[in-house]
Structure 1
Amino acid sequence: MTRSVEGLPAPNERRRLREAAELTLDEVATAVGVAVATVRSWESGRTTPRGRKRDAYARFLAGLPERAGAADATGPPGRTDPVLVAVAPGTGADAGTGADAGTGAEEGVAQAAPDGPAGSDGSADSAAAAPATPVMPAVPAARPVVRPVVDPAEAFDTLHELAAPALARQAYLLTGRRALALEAVDRAFTRAWDQWPEVATDPDPVGWVRTIVYEYALSPWHRFRRSHRRPDRPPADPADRILLDALLALPRVHRRTVLLYDGVGLDLPDTAAETEATTPAAGNRILNAHADLAARVPELADVPVERQSAALRERLAALRPPFPLDPRPAAAVRGGGERRTRQWTRATLGLTAVITAATAYTAATAPTRYDPPLAPGESVSGVPPLSGPQQLTERSRQLHDKLRADPEAGPARVAPRLD
């Protein structure tokens, strides 16, 4: 996300320059001649400008420092260096604006962003700067409480505290199972702590974790688990039960798309980017999902098409699970991840030691010369087997006795006798 392109600053520097000049995304898009979603993608590092658009964007960014200097000369003082900030729930930068594109007013976020002048931008820029969070009950607007965070563990705990409850609720709406929802959130934050430098510098850390939660919760392999043979207890309210059953009846990709668009409050381009689909494809999925939900949920059947999204958002915010969705504390998540890392490290070292010892033993006991093996015996036909002297016949025995009884020896023995 922070890699620079030839002729352009890094994505986070592009956003800093725009905010220092007190410009909105609409103004930058109009000056360069592109869409607002394109500028947002350039600043997040998802896409890279090319050709004439890159040249125009580079020239525009090159002139921003002068404009920022002029704005500092006339604007309010008190600008500080970028710090990792923690915004309390219900005190986002766009709190009380009523913007549908983002819901930062409903739950705080932890992200790396420079402190700009208060009230310098509209709701569109605030929605782009703050990661979207799920629809939650309305929270009164209040002044943002900002405090510097320098310790990675403290920053992770802040992110977990602000995002984990909402992500657990989203995972429950995706799966309808409490254990799987909490497990998905736990796995996602464990992975986030293992890769914390990458998550801390990401423009949308909540979106980074949310992607892992959704992918784990919607994995098709969970249906083979023994715990999935019995369904969880349904919600107590019949209307909530009907809505949850209708959501779970949708295909997984439609369920994820409609929850991001109507539940979390992302706009259509961001929803398409998070689901790895084109914008028209994401729009068609939302239309099909709305039609299926309207056919299954009586409360949405009589709502006009243009009001279905708002009505569904209200219903998702009002749905109450039949049991609490309390994720594990952040300290336990960090400790579990570190403990698992130590176990894998020890297992790897032990396996390496065993392989080394086996290799050394093999090298020490291996023969130093080659001894060709003896060829196995083969049977040869036509040769009588060796079985010792044969038995004497009667004639042979008489001849044998006669030769032994004759005392003569020498040549006289073979001389013929007259008798």
Structure 2
Amino acid sequence: MTRSSTDSTDATGPPDTPSAASAELSGPAEAPATAGSPAPAAAFDALYAHCATALFHQTFLLTGNRGLARESVARAFALAWERWPEVAMDRDPVGWVRAAAYEYAVSPWHRLRRAHRRPDPPPDGPASRALLDALLALPPAHRRTLVLHDGLGLDLPDTAAETEATTPATANRLLNARAAIAERMPEPAEHDAPAGRSAPLGELLGTLALTPAPGTLPAPGRVRTDSEHRAGRWTRTTFWFAAALVGLTLFTLVTAPTRHETPQSPARRISGVPPRAGPWKPGPQDVLLEKKLRGELVQGTARLVPGTG
């Protein structure tokens, strides 16, 4: 999983001071401090308390659906617990979980789920409604780029790394996303440079993200338990599938014939076929003619003279 190599909360943007809404959207400014080397469960719970709520607000901007946003956060942390040694040793655990949550939130498979086909009712306020409609009309890659760059304040290289794209492609996505937003909301999408953060748009993104309340996010202990149960189910399913495959293979080896024998067709009478031809047998007239010719043998040319009787 590719994501930003630097902490999302320490990303340096333009010299403008971020607004309160943007700062809350990005989450706490520093990673949770832990004394010594805490137990994995305690470290996971600290990471969950540190950024779960901020991730909910961010994924709401990507989906427009509160239920899907909560599910994306829970799935991302469940995946992080399954791969906790990798996440714990990562330079940016928050970025790791954020990338997993974003990838789950923008997955096209959610369109097949009836509960997530439509976004939630639009928020109050014409500006928020217009911005949410414009965001959901963007392609997922453009939407994700805009949220990371203008919403969270990541610089262009970090945004490109987290979205698994080149820096020029990320800049083009950002420009196209801002242009699409500007068609509906000209003022917030104004910016000075393609690589610079649009402060008005970031302010509106932060305000829109904070519109829905996160509700009751699952407790970190529940997330860890669900992750372990899911991993156990997958392990058991894989084991039984492998056992069934081995059993079917052994049954095939035991019951399969060792050589192929062509089956004999059943005998039946065939009509309309001419009788088999054999050697020629002379008839009575042929026998008499042969005897006559043998008894009338002559010498010389007299044999060539035709008879008169």
Confirm or deny a common fold (TM above 0.5): yes
Distance in 1, matches of 2:33 and 2:207, equals 27
Note if 1:349 corresponds to 2:239. yes
Question: How much has 1:284 moved relative to structure 2?
Answer: 2.9
What's the counterpart of residue 267 of structure 1? 155
Asked if the contact 1:247–1:293 (Cα under 8 Å) also holds between the matched residues in 2, the reply is yes
What's the counterpart of residue 379 of structure 1? 269
Note if 1:311 corresponds to 2:187. no
Distance in 2, matches of 1:157 and 1:297, equals 40
Alignment map for 1:7-406 (pairs within 5 Å): 100=13, 135-136=23-24, 146-297=34-185, 299-300=187-188, 305=192, 309-319=198-208, 320-363=210-253, 365=255, 373-381=263-271
Distance in 1, matches of 2:51 and 2:63, equals 18
AA aligned opposite 1:100? G
State the SS of the aligned residue for 1:181: helix
Bigger Cα displacement from structure 2, 305-314 vs 324-333: 305-314
Identity over aligned residues, as a percent? Answer: 53
Distance in 2, matches of 1:290 and 1:312, equals 9
Question: How much has 1:145 moved relative to structure 2?
Answer: 5.3
Q: Which structure is richer in relative contact order (CA contacts within 8 A, separation 6 or more)?
A: 2
Question: How much has 1:308 moved relative to structure 2?
Answer: 7.1
Asked if the contact 1:260–1:266 (Cα under 8 Å) also holds between the matched residues in 2, the reply is yes
Distance in 1, matches of 2:254 and 2:164, equals 56
Q: 1:229 to 1:203 in 2, by over 3 A?
A: closer
Question: How much has 1:206 moved relative to structure 2?
Answer: 1.3
Q: 1:377 to 1:106 in 2, by over 3 A?
A: farther
Distance in 2, matches of 1:139 and 1:172, equals 14
Question: How much has 1:100 moved relative to structure 2?
Answer: 3.5
Distance in 2, matches of 1:300 and 1:356, equals 62
Distance in 2, matches of 1:246 and 1:294, equals 9
What's the counterpart of residue 388 of structure 1? none
State the SS of the aligned residue for 1:340: helix
Distance in 1, matches of 2:184 and 2:172, equals 19
Q: What TM-score results when the alignment is normalised by the length of structure 1?
A: 0.54
Q: What TM-score results when the alignment is normalised by the length of structure 2?
A: 0.71
Question: How much has 1:343 moved relative to structure 2?
Answer: 1.3
Give a deviation string over 1:287-346, Cα, whole Å, max 9, x none.
Answer: 332233233126527x66469711122222222334435432111111111111111222
Question: How much has 1:136 moved relative to structure 2?
Answer: 0.9
Distance in 2, matches of 1:334 and 1:200, equals 15
Distance in 2, matches of 1:141 and 1:227, equals 34
Q: 1:315 to 1:365 in 2, by over 3 A?
A: closer
Q: 1:335 to 1:289 in 2, by over 3 A?
A: same
AA aligned opposite 1:311? P
Output the aligned Cα RMSD.
3.7
Asked if the contact 2:150–2:197 (Cα under 8 Å) also holds between the matched residues in 1, the reply is no
Q: 1:231 to 1:368 in 2, by over 3 A?
A: closer
